[in-house]
Amino acid sequence: MTQRESYAPAADRDEAARRFSREPMADEPVSTRDPHWRDEVIGAAGLNVIAGIWLILSPWILGYTGPDATWNPIVFGAIILVLALARIARPAGTRALSAINALIGIWLFISGFWLADSAQASWNVWIVGAIVFIMAAIGMTPATTRAGSPSRS
């Protein structure tokens, strides 16, 4: 006998279960938790962690020369890294962090047109910006699906 079972007699448990469980009404949407949602969010945030680390290191690895081309990926790489780590630590309550990372991904892509000082710098921020945006969009998916709507398998 578990501790939980010892608190209420069987008749009381059955009554409580009957009162608190009900069938949904015909026009009421049924929400169900996507069982893979947490894994998808953590995986996408993990890839954003890698992207953030790469952005921080890329000016030295790729040999950037201009200050704008150097500091843009360092600053935004650090922000992406911190937000992605926070998203990994608490996936359920931090969807807004993925939205911020998506905006940063858009900024990185756009900044490749005028802040980058070489083709390498441009391609780097274009590709990483697109990756950050896509991973953040995956991280913003809702934890629940509605009955009747297509569900990802």
Query: CATH code at 78?
Result: 1.20.120
Please tell me the least confidently modeled range out of 17-26, 82-91, 105-114, 143-152. 143-152
**Residue 27: C-alpha distances to residues 1, 24, 147, 148 (Å):** 41, 8, 11, 11
Give the range of the structural domain holding residue 49, as residue numbers without chain letter. 37-141
**Looking at the domain assignment, is residue 129 inside a domain?**
yes
**Looking at the domain assignment, is residue 116 inside a domain?**
yes
Please tell me the least confidently modeled range out of 19-23, 59-63, 118-122, 123-127. 19-23
**Looking at the domain assignment, is residue 84 inside a domain?**
yes
pLDDT band at 148 (very low <50, low <70, confident <90, very high): very low
The reply to whether the predicted model has a pTM over 0.75 is: no
